[in-house]
């Protein structure tokens, strides 16, 4: 963040300042567990917590002032506001507008983080300096994560790549209006967070809110494979471009696709021409992500050279088809970060390509509401058609996917022991083996992957 005085911040937030207004702020904090230098602590409130109770901890960690919703007995200056969460967003919006880097934003039911990483790599190629491209750290993509991302902006940043997520209607409208992107897109729409959105139409509505914050002269990018008519009202008369992994009438599309065990090769077609891409990401769905990244980056100035250079760099993101090679004939694929129907199918499509004994370790898909049983059965049918060598499941609803009570577990330790016995047997037979683990965040399938790789004394 740029350095600001408390007087300046109080004016931006329309808050009441108590204490020395000349104190300088260099960093923003919402977590009393993290040390900060010259920090301003925002005391947030939730259903089960109230950070107003921990102001002393924030000061001990280096915060020199606090933003609170009521006057507090604290020995540092304080800015009193009506809602600290909204105040955090207001400061982020102000900073973004003041510095005004070229900004792209993306949302979707799956692939957001991979798309973010691809887009950032392209723009880093364009600037030839990684430090000039700000992008969302991890999965900080909600109504708190987005402002914290924007508040990391400084004068050095030429570009910002911002991931927007949501679990309820209105959240993306809020963060998109805060972000004010120059280009944005909905990567895809799938059955995810149905408990919060109500239906697939509700998911489409929520994701389409991203276009509401687009600058008047910005570029709205749509995936022709998931285009929803209701988005046009938000797009209005703004410039519109499209991408598609299937439709050659799109502005960005792929031809001559060749999948392999390390990624894919294809020809990327764009309004600037075409180029050959050697994509080091597993699965056909990542070709669509690459097209989306190219469209976003080119909308803010990237050329084909930067697109090719960025897409051909692998950004290894744990939990997202992350390969862990234990030894030449044993590969673990950690796809444990999250799951919905589409991402489950994509993972299975990747796994079935391997010329090896293929194990799918699957956990429940969460937040599907009344659709849960039907959606798990949909994945079960897809898995059955893939004819994998072994399917094991963990949780409640996923039992239908393994279709074998002996291969369903409610104890992850027993699941790991069973899989290790299979792995050791195949190893003794010199048979190559690939195990892919996937499930919703609540299932913590990375624990299974960790149990297995630690058994082989491997570090990565």
Strand partners, 433: 330, 357
With tokens 């280096």, the residue in question is: 62
Q: How far apart are CA 13 and CA 442, in angstroms?
A: 36
39 is in an annotated binding site: no
Q: How far apart are CA 12 and CA 29, in angstroms?
A: 17
Q: How far apart are CA 172 and CA 162, in angstroms?
A: 12
Between the alpha carbon of residue 297 and those of residues 128, 215, 220, 241, 251, the distances in Å are 14, 16, 12, 12, 13
What sign results for the dihedral spanned by CA atoms 109, 114, 115, 117? positive
Strand ranges in 344-414 using DSSP code E only, listed in sequence order: 357-363, 390-394, 408-409
Q: Are 41 and 68 in contact (CB under 8 A)?
A: no
Inter-helix orientation angle 372-386/341-351, to 10°: 10
Q: Are 434 and 351 in contact (CB under 8 A)?
A: yes
3-class secondary-structure state, position 189: coil
Q: How far apart are CA 148 and CA 168, in angstroms?
A: 20
Q: Are 105 and 162 in contact (CB under 8 A)?
A: yes
Q: Of 403, 348, 404, 342, give the one whose Cα is nearest residue 375.
A: 342
* b/e sequence 65-90, b meaning 16+ C-beta within 10 Å: bbbbbeebebebbbbbbeebbebbbb
What sign results for the dihedral spanned by CA atoms 290, 364, 383, 433? positive
113 is in an annotated binding site: yes
Strand partners, 423: none
202 is in an annotated binding site: no
Q: How far apart are CA 63 and CA 28, in angstroms?
A: 8
32 is in an annotated binding site: no
119 is in an annotated binding site: no
459 is in an annotated binding site: no
3-class secondary-structure state, position 349: helix
108 is in an annotated binding site: yes
Strand partners, 264: 259, 279
3-class secondary-structure state, position 99: helix
3-class secondary-structure state, position 219: strand
Classify strands 273-279 and 263-270 as parallel, antiparallel or unpaired: antiparallel
Residues flagged as binding site for ATP:
108-114
Residues flagged as binding site:
108-114
């Amino acid at each position: 963040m740029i350095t600001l005085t408390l007087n300046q911040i109080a004016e931006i937030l329309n808050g009441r300042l108590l204490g020395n207004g000349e104190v300088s702020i260099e960093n923003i904090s919402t977590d009393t567990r993290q040390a900060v230098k010259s920090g301003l602590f925002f005391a947030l409130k939730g259903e089960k917590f109230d950070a107003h109770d921990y102001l002393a901890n924030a000061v001990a960690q280096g915060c020199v002032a606090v933003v609170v919703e009521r006057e507090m007995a604290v020995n540092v200056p304080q800015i009193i506001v009506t809602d600290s969460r909204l105040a955090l967003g207001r400061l982020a919006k102000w900073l973004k507008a003041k510095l005004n880097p070229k900004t792209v934003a993306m949302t979707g039911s799956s692939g957001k983080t991979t798309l973010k990483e691809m887009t950032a790599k392209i723009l880093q190629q364009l600037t030839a300096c990684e430090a000039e491209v700000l992008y969302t750290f991890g999965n900080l993509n909600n109504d708190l994560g987005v402002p914290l991302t924007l508040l990391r902006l400084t004068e050095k940043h030429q570009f910002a790549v911002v991931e927007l997520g949501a679990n309820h209607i209105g959240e993306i409208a809020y963060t998109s209006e805060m972000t004010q992107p120059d280009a944005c897109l909905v990567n895809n729409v799938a059955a995810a967070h149905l408990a919060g959105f109500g239906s697939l139409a509700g998911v489409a509505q929520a994701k389409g809110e991203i276009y509401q914050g687009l600058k008047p002269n910005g570029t709205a990018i749509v995936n022709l494979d998931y285009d929803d008519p209701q988005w046009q009202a938000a797009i209005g008369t703004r410039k519109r471009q499209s991408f598609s992994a299937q439709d050659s009438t799109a502005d960005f599309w792929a031809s001559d696709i060749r999948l392999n065990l390390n990624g894919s090769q294809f020809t990327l077609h764009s309004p600037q021409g075409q180029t050959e891409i050697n994509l080091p990401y597993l699965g056909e769905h990542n070709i669509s992500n690459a097209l989306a990244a190219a469209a976003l980056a080119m909308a803010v100035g990237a050329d084909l050279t930067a697109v090719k250079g960025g897409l051909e760099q692998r950004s290894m993101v744990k939990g997202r088809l992350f390969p862990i090679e234990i030894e030449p004939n044993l590969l673990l694929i950690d796809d444990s970060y999250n799951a919905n129907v589409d991402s489950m199918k994509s993972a299975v499509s990747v796994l079935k390509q391997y010329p090896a004994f293929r194990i799918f370790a699957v956990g429940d898909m969460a937040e599907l509401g009344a659709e849960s049983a039907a959606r798990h059965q949909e994945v079960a049918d897809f898995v059955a058609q893939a004819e994998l060598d072994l399917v094991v499941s963990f949780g409640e609803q996923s039992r239908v996917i393994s279709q074998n009570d002996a291969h369903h577990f409610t104890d992850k330790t027993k699941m790991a022991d069973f899989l290790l016995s299979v792995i050791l047997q195949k190893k003794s037979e010199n048979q190559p083996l690939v195990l892919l683990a996937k499930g919703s965040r609540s299932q913590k399938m990375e624990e299974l992957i960790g149990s297995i790789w630690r058994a082989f004394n491997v570090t990565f």
